Amino acid sequence: MQPIVIIGSGMAGYTLAREFRKLNPEHELVMICADDGVNYAKPTLSNALVGNKAPEQIALGDAAKMAAQLNMRIETHTVVAAIDAQAHRLTLKQNGQTQEQTYSKLILAVGAQPIRLPIQGDAADDILAVNSLIDYRAFRERLASRQDKRVLIIGAGLIGCEFANDLQNTGHQVTVVDLAPQPLGRLLPAETAQHFQSKLQEAGIQFELGTTVQSIQHDGDDYVVELANGQRFTVDVVLSAVGLQPNLALAQAAGIQTSRGIIADSLLQTNVNDIYTIGDCAEVQGTLLPYVMPIMQQARALAKTLNGESTHVHYPAMPVAVKTPAAPLTVLPVPVDVSAEWQTEILEDGMLAKAIDAEGTLRGFVLLGATAGKQRLALAKLVPDLIPAQA
């Protein structure tokens, strides 16, 4: 029997391999990755500085260790050049050599790449983004090489705010720039966002909202950043955190349907037989959720399917804990196709905001502060499943 092949060595790929091995210790399993195959939890990168975690401390195991642990072959520094879905065959490029790999089932766990904004200036190529352990290592090295610890972050979304809080807690001067009028613009109602922003500002983080970075120029060892509103900042490091774009090119070239992500049904199967998708690249029944809990749900379901027990993925309400200690925050995003009105309650140490639809059903919530956070589990039970469980 041909092996099951996973393309991608991120959290999704490794979690799936682990879940499959719990069910089937023997079936041949192959992982193909363009990087070094080191296993780590990507969410830890945005708050690793305050814990003084060096890159090698974040790694859970290198490719050799993971291959032994999961009884699978891992092909590192290997690019999948093409998928021949009809022949169930991959064309691989490794060390300048071309080879082929057959499969019985193929899983696209190819992740997503940071969005790059078109920014002018002779230092635009020096903008960093942290989307991998390799990126984090480069980020740490850049920070260590600079004396004044001035960091400008492009993007006041979830990752931008987490990095801002982590950097501020490690003695850096942080400025966050975003075109939106508030931080976490897609997740928070305006009043809650204002309180969240105030808490981060009290911690020392500066926000420049309603504008964007226009150019970045070298000035000796420093960078001069000019915003669209004319303001200028001299900084040591510029970090981009404006979001992720799923990697779609390989799927599209193979005739696999894509939209915002790689389109999959509730079995995580694409429109092409025996090809599945999981993780940040997977758009499951119209839903794209680049968070940890959806990946766990996907991996458990798909592992069973690959082992011969067709299992639909189930998405219960899955709140997201934002790692901003200066303003403890839990968010359950409102589904993109749902209209809801926000109802806000002020608490002694924060806020509780509920998103209520036209039928009076709770569809999302925001919990700001330690007191509000205690209601997370009770509220999550009141929210309808995003993808219901199927018998």
DSSP string over 159-222:
HHHHHHHHHHTTT-EEEEEESSSSTTTTTS-HHHHHHHHHHHHHTT-EEEES--EEEEEEETTE
The residues spanned by each domain of the chain are 4-113+244-306, 116-240, 328-380
Task: Give the whole-angstrom CA distance, residue 132 versus residue 43.
Answer: 10
Task: Give the whole-angstrom CA distance, residue 292 versus residue 360.
Answer: 29
What's the confidence (pLDDT) of residue 37?
96
The DSSP symbol for 34 reads S
Task: Give the whole-angstrom CA distance, residue 8 versus residue 6.
Answer: 6
Strand-pairing partners, residue 364, are 355
**SS3 for 386?**
coil
Contact indicator for 240, 159 with CB cutoff of 8 Å: no
What is the overall mean pLDDT for the chain? 95
| 1: pLDDT strictly greater than 90 | no
- Which residues 6+ apart lie within 8 Å of 218 measured at CB? 122, 123, 126, 224
pLDDT band at 294 (very low <50, low <70, confident <90, very high): very high
Highest mean pLDDT among 46-55, 210-219, 335-344: 210-219
- Which residues 6+ apart lie within 8 Å of 357 measured at CB? 338, 339, 340, 341, 363
pLDDT band at 30 (very low <50, low <70, confident <90, very high): very high
Superfamily of domain 116-240 in CATH is: FAD/NAD(P)-binding domain (3.50.50.60)
Using a 10 angstrom Cβ sphere, with 0-12 exposed, 13-18 middle and 19 or more buried, the burial of residue 97 is: exposed
Contact indicator for 2, 102 with CB cutoff of 8 Å: yes
The DSSP symbol for 387 reads B
| 16: pLDDT strictly greater than 90 | yes
What's the confidence (pLDDT) of residue 391?
58
Average pLDDT over residues 313-337: 95
Least Cα distance to 65 among 31, 94, 91 occurs for 31
Q: What is the CATH number of domain 328-380?
A: 3.30.390.120
First-residue to last-residue Cα distance in the chain: 29
What's the confidence (pLDDT) of residue 195?
95
- Which residues 6+ apart lie within 8 Å of 220 measured at CB? none
Contact indicator for 320, 158 with CB cutoff of 8 Å: yes
Task: Give the whole-angstrom CA distance, residue 272 versus residue 262.
Answer: 11
What's the confidence (pLDDT) of residue 53?
85
Cα angle for residues 285, 289, 292 (degrees, 5° grid): 130
| 334: pLDDT strictly greater than 70 | yes
Mean pLDDT lowest among 40-49, 81-90, 207-216: 40-49
The DSSP symbol for 4 reads E
Domains 4-113+244-306 and 116-240 share a fold: yes
Fold (CATH) for 4-113+244-306: FAD/NAD(P)-binding domain (3.50.50)
| 74: pLDDT strictly greater than 90 | yes
Predicted confidence (pLDDT) per residue in 296-313, tens digit:
999 999 999 999 999 999
| 363: pLDDT strictly greater than 90 | yes
Higher confidence at residue 260 or residue 390?
A: 260
Phi and psi at 83, nearest 5°, equal: -115, 125
What's the confidence (pLDDT) of residue 358?
95
Least Cα distance to 53 among 41, 36, 35, 67 occurs for 41
Task: Give the whole-angstrom CA distance, residue 121 versus residue 321.
Answer: 36
Average pLDDT over residues 226-233: 97
Amino acid of residue 333: P
pLDDT band at 76 (very low <50, low <70, confident <90, very high): very high
Least Cα distance to 319 among 285, 280, 355 occurs for 355
pLDDT band at 216 (very low <50, low <70, confident <90, very high): very high
What's the confidence (pLDDT) of residue 114?
95
Task: Give the whole-angstrom CA distance, residue 211 versus residue 114.
Answer: 20
**SS3 for 13?**
helix
Average pLDDT over residues 64-82: 98
Q: What is the pTM of this model?
A: 0.94
Q: What percent of the chain has pLDDT over 70?
A: 100
